């Protein structure tokens, strides 16, 4: 798994301010050139995009299903499909967002097909979304007690599936509210409300919220 470097964090007006966004934006800007080259038939550019996002994509897939083979197959099939459709694909406003949305749809479609259910692009009712602390957050988890870690995991996973997915896409994956709403097929207002309600549910334990933001912003 890829390791994220922890940004410098400061508390200002009860909010966590992070340097991560600037670094993320710089990396995303660099990928736009690769995306354009890939669309023009540069296979090496698509390989570079794959290497840039494979770990993030795999970890995102793990939040949707524990079927590792299905995740790997979905990522592989997604990139094969991208290559086949390269001439008709538009210029993505965010490559990461485009890949996340495509992978989510492909994984959920595969899960639905396994159960022989009709697929309409929506999430099946028994679909689950779990937040897993990966090795990317090991440095943070070493700094908190096992009791705190278990309390945090229990608190977050007590949220509804949609709440968990929304807050991880927003804070962990650093997507905009508009991008989160598009991936989850919600209005932007509904996405705002969903994330607000999730954080409001956790507000009884401010320390847990702070630890969560450290986890997902680290």
Q: Phi-psi region for residue 186, left (φ > 0), alpha (ψ -120 to 50) or beta?
A: beta
Q: Quick one: pLDDT at residue 135? A: 40
| φ, ψ at 11 (rounded to 5°) | -100, 125
Whether residue 7 is contained in a domain is answered as no
- What pLDDT digit, counting tens, does each position of 117-130 carry? 444 445 554 455 55
What is the C-alpha to C-alpha distance for residues 47 and 63, in angstroms, rounded to an integer? Answer: 24
What is the C-alpha to C-alpha distance for residues 108 and 127, in angstroms, rounded to an integer? Answer: 8
pLDDT tens, per residue, the chain with 218 residues: 334 333 333 323 333 334 445 555 566 677 888 999 999 999 999 999 999 999 999 988 988 888 899 999 999 999 999 999 998 887 778 898 999 999 988 988 888 777 644 444 455 544 555 555 444 444 445 555 677 667 777 777 778 888 888 888 887 778 889 999 988 889 999 999 999 888 888 776 556 565 555 555 44
Q: Quick one: pLDDT at residue 134? A: 45
Residue 13: is it exposed, middle or buried by C-beta count within 10 angstroms (0-12/13-18/19+)?
Answer: exposed
Whether residue 5 is contained in a domain is answered as no
Structural domain that includes position 91: 30-128
Whether residue 6 is contained in a domain is answered as no
Bridge partners of residue 11, in order along the sequence: 16
Tokens matching residue 146: 């096992």
Of the candidates 168, 160, 174, the one whose C-alpha atom is nearest the C-alpha of residue 125 is: 160
CB–CB of 162/125 below 8 Å?
Answer: no
Q: Quick one: pLDDT at residue 98? A: 92
Do 176 and 216 reside in the same domain of the chain? yes
CB–CB of 7/20 below 8 Å?
Answer: yes
Give the total number of structural domains in the chain.
2
Rounded to a whole number of angstroms, the distance between the first and last alpha carbons of the chain is 14
- Any idea what the CATH number is for the domain that residue 185 is in? 1.10.10.10
Instruction: Give Cβ neighbours of residue 163 (< 8 Å, ≥ 6 apart).
Output: 194, 195, 197, 198, 201
- What pLDDT digit, counting tens, does each position of 43-72 carry? 999 999 999 999 999 988 988 888 899 999
What rounded mean pLDDT belongs to the chain?
Answer: 74
On whether the pTM is more than 0.75, the answer is no
Whether residue 157 is contained in a domain is answered as yes
């Amino acid at each position: 798994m890829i390791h994220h470097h922890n940004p410098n964090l400061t508390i200002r007006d009860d909010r966590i301010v992070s340097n991560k966004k600037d670094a993320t934006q710089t990396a995303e800007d660099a990928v736009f050139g690769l995306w354009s080259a890939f669309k023009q038939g540069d296979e090496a550019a698509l390989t570079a995009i794959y290497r840039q996002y494979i770990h993030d994509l795999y970890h995102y897939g793990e939040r949707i299903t524990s079927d590792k083979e299905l995740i790997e197959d979905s990522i592989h099939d997604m990139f094969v499909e991208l290559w086949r459709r390269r001439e008709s694909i538009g210029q993505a406003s965010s490559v990461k967002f485009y890949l996340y949305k495509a992978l989510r749809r492909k994984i959920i479609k595969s899960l639905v097909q396994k159960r022989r259910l009709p697929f309409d692009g929506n999430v099946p009712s028994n679909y689950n979304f779990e937040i897993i602390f990966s090795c990317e957050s090991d440095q943070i988890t070493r700094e908190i007690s096992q009791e705190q870690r278990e309390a945090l995991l229990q608190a977050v996973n007590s949220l509804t599936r949609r709440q968990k997915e929304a807050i991880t896409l927003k804070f962990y994956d650093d997507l905009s509210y508009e991008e989160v709403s598009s991936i989850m097929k919600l209005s932007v207002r509904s996405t705002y409300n969903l994330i607000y309600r999730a954080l409001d549910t956790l507000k009884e334990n401010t320390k847990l919220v702070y630890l969560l933001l450290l986890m997902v912003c680290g």
